[in-house]
Amino acid sequence: MKNLSFVLIAVLCLTGCTQKELTTEEAIQFLQKDGPYPRAAGHYIFCRDRAHAKKVLDKGLEQQGLVIVNRKLNIKEVLAKKPYIEFTEKAKPYFLSVSDGDRSDKIQQVRLADQE
């Protein structure tokens, strides 16, 4: 039994000590598999959510002219799915693509930063 455990430990040490070098082609394949660089880090803004409207106000995006926050929506407008947050033309360069379902639910993904 001691011999078997010694053999197993020796085999593990030998296989763990071998080095496999990463070739340039393999590195390029790994990078291409993850997608194009730089990637954009995004954040979803739920335009029909009052909590997101408060966050937008707290961050000062309305003063910068990026959004318009509808503070006083009546119940009829809420039931008609009118958003609390509306984006201006100045905010369009920060938009990332969203699905049609998200667009109909008034969800917009915006760019926070570019990851390198």
Structure tokens at 12: 């593990």
Query: In the chain, what are the domain boundaries?
Result: 2-115
**How big is the CA angle at 61 (ends 86 and 98), to the nearest 5 degrees?**
50
Q: Provide the residue type at 100 as one letter.
A: D
Q: Where are the alpha helices (DSSP H) in the chain?
A: 2-17, 24-34, 50-58, 75-79, 100-104
Q: Which residues contact 67 (CB under 8 A, 6 or more apart)?
A: 56, 61, 85, 86, 87, 88, 91
What is the pTM assigned to this prediction? 0.62
Residue 99: pLDDT band by 50, 70, 90 thresholds? confident
Distance CA 16, CA 3 (A): 20
For residues 45-62, give the mean pLDDT: 91
- At residue 12, the pLDDT reads 66
The more confident residue out of 31 and 71 is 71
The more confident residue out of 101 and 13 is 101
